[in-house]
Structure 1
Amino acid sequence: MDDVIIIGGSFAGLAAALNLGRARRKVTILDTGSPRNRYASNAHGLLGHDGKPPSEILADARQQLEPYDTVRFVQARALKLSGAQDDFTVETDDGERRKARRLLLSYGIADQFPPIPGFAESWGKSVIHCPYCHGYEYAGKSWGLVYSTPMSLHATLLYGDWTDQITLFTDGHDVPEIERGKLDKRGIKVVEGKVASIQHQDGQLSSVTTEDGRVTPLDALFAHPQIKPSSNLHEQLGLETVETPFGIALKVDEKHKTSVDGIFAAGDLASPMASLTIAAYTGAMAGINAQQSMLA
């Protein structure tokens, strides 16, 4: 029996495994090899790795786990969870049934791309979600933002640290007149109507077209599609969730413990803040707290 089975082997899961391995706990990491940031050619904001491809950072992390003989990495998809604290069972698509005292869920989320031609092809390249992750590379250039929630109005203020060329696409939403006045004072252009298509070359966009045929030249488009957990495993054991402006996240406490004893969660699955640094931090803390929960 493992001490901990970690489901999801990206930044949060590996950070948890590193701390558990250093505590000499027996750990199995289950991973499908499809991290959320696989669309991005470079990762930014992670100290010591700024500008590296995410796949390269993950490969380095896995190599650094090799000396820990209590940590095992298995490429398999978890299909079913059952049991309770100190006696969990994980069934996987390789036909195995694995047992563990604790579970740590870090299988991330899946972005729900809108059916806009060019959106998926440009995601992670020039259609992006985070100015801290990608804004520097587009500083001083023409930015667009697709309105998704009232938080989008705050984002236009935030983006001003990177560029003064910002266009807000209402995408069919109503923007109150008082907010329109604030946007006008900040020099934000507002384009009405739903986004119909994105023109791009190999993921590098050149313009956005709305349903009325208006074409707006752009260098980058910020968008925040709805998200959902990339698996329904949390539903199998009845874990509580919380609503965020962009979708569902698992409910965790200050120790990254879920609503079910013995199950911890980390990374994008448990936090609306999508960041490599935050994912690694929450993974490390979830691993440490899982280890401490097993102390006699």
Structure 2
Amino acid sequence: MQIDFAIIGGSFAGLSAALQLARARRHVLVVDAGQRRNRCVDDAGQTSHGFMSQDGRAPAAIAADGKAQLLRYPNVQWLDGLADEARIGADGQLDFRVGDMAVSAGRLILATGVRDTLPPVPGLAERWGRSVFHCPYCHGYELDAGEIGIIAAGPLAQHHAHMLPDWGRTTLFLNGAYESGDEERAALARRGTRIEATPVARIEGEADVVLADGRVLRMNGLFTQPRTAMASPVAEQLGCAMVDGPMGPFIQVGATQETSVPNVFACGDAARAAGNVALAVGDGVMAGLGAHRSTMF
């Protein structure tokens, strides 16, 4: 298949990028495997927050509406499947495969997202997206200013520990992930964050933290710092430069979401250190505009 613009990833960033190109009357192919980062949240019937006009809706519903609106444009094609075996062709085209189908595109937008790896605490992964979160702005308000726990995965937990007292009474569970110094302890005390050094044995109930000494601290919700990795090998296959972010590597992009590889753009969680639905949509707009304008300027 030969196409002007291909987008790998059909979640919030990819849909947003595709919409800009569709409205520019360009022929667009979206390749999607239906593996949104927050699909576990979709399964739990939870809601997305902080995205104007969509606050409180299920992420799956927002994405489904976006896809339906996009597919009203006759110049858009949708292909279900995983993209792989990406390379730069001798003619400068961007080639990849989706199953048995070969695709060649003049411009490529990567909206491939990331995968999360959580600290190895029993019971934590089962509650991911339900009562265990990573973004206070997305989920902090719903905890009703109650008890909030932070399961440390490393020094990045300090960031959560300074922020979360604005959302509730906060306890930082060090869990042997790192050593907190006197200066940090004093700063957190000023914020009202309590520090618990006893290791965490497991998580039970909604968000109950069972400590190694048998104590059970009941929390309204928990936050942790997942380690992220690219959800697709395509960026690496094409040779896109990466940035080593605090949560994991992400694709290096410029002002119009262009990568280090000519005619390849990237957006969404794969192309920023941390994000949310609203940021992914905004990045997608810029990637679509950038890819379109690169054909002219």
Residue 167 of structure 1 aligns with which residue? Answer: 171
Q: 2:196 aligns with which of 191, 200, 204?
A: 191
| Cα distance in structure 2, aligned partners of 1:46 and 1:285 | 17
Deviation, structure 1 residue 291: 0.5
Deviation, structure 1 residue 53: 0.6
Partners of 1:116 and 1:196 within 8 A in 2: yes
1:145 aligns with 2:145: no
Residue 211 of structure 2 aligns with which residue? Answer: 210
Deviation, structure 1 residue 150: 3.5
> AA paired with 2:201?
A
Question: Which structure 2 residue ranges, 5 or more long, are not aligned?
Answer: none
Question: Which structure 1 residue ranges, 5 or more long, are not aligned?
Answer: none
1:97 aligns with 2:98: no
1:243 aligns with 2:244: yes
Residue 278 of structure 2 aligns with which residue? Answer: 277
Q: 2:75 aligns with which of 65, 70, 81?
A: 70
Partners of 2:156 and 2:225 within 8 A in 1: no
Give 3-state SS (helix, strand or coil) of 2:38's partner. helix
| Cα distance in structure 1, aligned partners of 2:165 and 2:126 | 27
> AA paired with 1:168?
L
Residue 232 of structure 1 aligns with which residue? Answer: 233
The worse-fitting range, judged by mean Cα deviation, of 71-80 and 7-16 is 71-80
| Cα distance in structure 2, aligned partners of 1:42 and 1:254 | 31
Partners of 2:157 and 2:225 within 8 A in 1: no
Partners of 1:86 and 1:100 within 8 A in 2: no
CA deviation digits over 1:16-72, x for unaligned, max 9?
000000001111101111100112211111111111111111110011112211111
| Cα distance in structure 2, aligned partners of 1:115 and 1:170 | 13
Residue 12 of structure 1 aligns with which residue? Answer: 13
> AA paired with 1:19?
Q
| Cα distance in structure 2, aligned partners of 1:139 and 1:24 | 46
Residue 27 of structure 2 aligns with which residue? Answer: 26
> AA paired with 1:129?
H
Partners of 1:149 and 1:245 within 8 A in 2: no
Deviation, structure 1 residue 182: 2.2
Partners of 1:228 and 1:248 within 8 A in 2: yes
> AA paired with 1:140?
A
| Cα distance in structure 1, aligned partners of 2:164 and 2:81 | 40
Deviation, structure 1 residue 292: 0.6
Partners of 1:86 and 1:102 within 8 A in 2: no
The worse-fitting range, judged by mean Cα deviation, of 132-141 and 16-25 is 132-141
Residue 181 of structure 1 aligns with which residue? Answer: 186
Partners of 1:6 and 1:30 within 8 A in 2: yes
Question: What is the percentage of aligned positions where both structures have the same residue?
Answer: 38
Q: 1:113 aligns with which of 118, 121, 124?
A: 118
Deviation, structure 1 residue 74: 1.1
| Cα distance in structure 1, aligned partners of 2:153 and 2:5 | 38
Deviation, structure 1 residue 170: 0.8
Q: How many residues align?
A: 290
Partners of 1:101 and 1:262 within 8 A in 2: yes
Q: How does 1:49-88 map to 2 (within 5 A)?
A: 49-84=54-89, 86-88=92-94
| Cα distance in structure 2, aligned partners of 1:29 and 1:39 | 23
Task: Report the aligned-residue RMSD.
Answer: 1.5
Residue 259 of structure 2 aligns with which residue? Answer: 258
Deviation, structure 1 residue 216: 1.7
| TM-score for both structures, normalised by structure 2 | 0.93
